[in-house]
Structure 1
């Protein structure tokens, strides 16, 4: 090999290494999530199966508490945040964020009670553990209890107990008569002899997990939003069409046994949102609660808190891609 050729090869390699990434390069994005759960499994599937990569995205999912996730979104430390109700509440309060897609359109909450409590009406005067006042589980429970003819604020003794683990502990310790639990805690409670009164998702829609973005991303990088949502939609379709592989992912990702994974998967199939949107009524539940917490009587347009045009377009794109195959 001549010295001239060696020199030319060296220069070519050097220029390749220092050349800035082009528009065809993979785009890195960060998603703030509240952690491994049935609701956010589509993000994990999209990563493992390469659906994000197919869309030209390199995704880093970061686990953080709900309030920190929204703050990280606002401060540009992440590009997306999954806690839908918190994003909607922030938008209702005037912050420049919006929901652009819903991953889970029905709550994964189960109302679990002592064995002698046989119906929701039996909860009158009983102690019920919730996470915190106005949190998603509290909102879902309010809607169902009021539908049963009880006065949610007067007929139930609601106690703020924190997360699923703390609520489960308060139930088995006898500190409360009932609580709202998500998998796998509801399944553990059933095994311990407690009664499953209702899957709250049977009664109502509620945007629990999704993709919230800053308004500036909607304006400056709509293609990235579309690509992200398309990958997620492919992941949801994959999960529903491939139960065995999806359950293996659940076992690995959630660190649960096969029985819990199977029941969690069935819940996911019922609650994952293929279309990526929920009804205006479901969004309004969160907006109204936000206004109540803010002690505001202002009217807030739903267009201020959600933008479903990306989810609708992504759904068309995915459908067209299927037809083209």
Structure 2
């Protein structure tokens, strides 16, 4: 009888004992997640990868707890250098800061192989030659958008002096309003904004990504992080690259995340999905993150040398450290190959 009571007592206390052993392990595992901050220029489809990595648990699987903050351009690079953020999506500004001010940072990846911008026009423009003598909107005078549009127009018989330029900034609402009011006859918009623009009568004239390979959406880190925490960089890269592959391979799943996190308002699901499909036209086949050598030369030319008016060649390793993304790409390619052979 006494033994029966003892066993009953044990059976009643066993769940509590097990929980007392398991819960500390669970909490200690969660406690190992490193808190990091990633800065992006804006909450848009261009940076949907960060939100997908959070929602699908890719950061969590790498024991990272990521916080997304919107800080773009030179301000985003200043935040990176000060330690306020760990990763910055202002790769172009970062590379120019390296050359013009000796900033101790490197670009570690590019999300796309090609630019994601689309050339859009008002209703009276049907072809590039119609823009002769007209005003074209750019983000800022002599910036990357200005340089790329000039290059694109030259390839279609329109010289740099054949059209006027006006700086419109980066707000899609401002660009659309300028096109509708006639302040500008043409401008560039990102894939998500195209959806809204077409609803308001704006015409899509061309996809600039068809022009030539030009990596886009570069992410930078400090040289201090490269030397002190290289493992974290590889884990961050793995999460983001897996996210890009998810977006490319599962548009509907990516649409779910976009609707939840990017707050599109009245834009319906079908239009959001269309914006994502337009975006993934810029992604390479296979594992993204490491552009081709020709593409890297293009981004140095048009993001750095042309804006800063530099004549001499700039070596890739002065601006970028791509060894981590190369390692991660090989790992993911090996994993995909193993899955196909099962």
- TM class by shorter chain equals 0.7 to 0.9
Q: Name the structure 1 match of 2:9.
A: none
Cα offset, 1:255, TM superposition: 2.4
Q: Name the structure 2 match of 1:3.
A: none
Q: What is the CA–CA distance in structure 1 between the aligned matches of 2:179 and 2:208, rounded to whole Å?
A: 18
CA contact (8 A) 1:33 1:82 kept: yes
CA deviations over 1:82-109 (Å, ceiling 9, x no partner): 1221122122323221111111332221
Q: What is the CA–CA distance in structure 2 between the aligned matches of 1:88 and 1:33, rounded to whole Å?
A: 16
CA contact (8 A) 1:39 1:104 kept: no
- SS of 1:103's partner is strand
Q: What is the CA–CA distance in structure 2 between the aligned matches of 1:310 and 1:202, rounded to whole Å?
A: 28
**Equivalent in 183, 188, 206 of residue 191 of structure 2:** 183
1:235 aligns with 2:240: no
Across the aligned residues of Structure 1 and Structure 2, the Cα RMSD in angstroms comes to: 2.6
Q: What is the CA–CA distance in structure 1 between the aligned matches of 2:230 and 2:142, rounded to whole Å?
A: 32
Q: Name the structure 2 match of 1:213.
A: 221
Q: Name the structure 2 match of 1:264.
A: 275
The size of the alignment, in residue pairs, is 309
Q: Name the structure 2 match of 1:275.
A: 288
**Equivalent in 64, 80, 85 of residue 92 of structure 2:** 85
**Equivalent in 43, 47, 64 of residue 71 of structure 2:** 64
CA contact (8 A) 1:206 1:282 kept: yes
Q: Name the structure 2 match of 1:314.
A: 328
- SS of 2:45's partner is coil
Cα offset, 1:223, TM superposition: 1.2
Larger Rg: 2
TM-score, L = length of structure 2: 0.82
Cα offset, 1:173, TM superposition: 1.0
Q: Which structure 1 residue ranges, 5 or more long, are not aligned? A: 1-8
Q: What is the CA–CA distance in structure 2 between the aligned matches of 1:119 and 1:306, rounded to whole Å?
A: 38
TM-score, L = length of structure 1: 0.86
Q: What is the CA–CA distance in structure 2 between the aligned matches of 1:314 and 1:294, rounded to whole Å?
A: 32
CA deviations over 1:154-205 (Å, ceiling 9, x no partner): 1120101112221211111111211111233323332233321101112133
- SS of 2:314's partner is coil
Q: What is the CA–CA distance in structure 1 between the aligned matches of 2:210 and 2:120, rounded to whole Å?
A: 15
Q: What is the CA–CA distance in structure 1 between the aligned matches of 2:309 and 2:109, rounded to whole Å?
A: 28
Structure ranking higher in helix proportion: 2
Q: Which structure 2 residue ranges, 5 or more long, are not aligned? A: 1-16
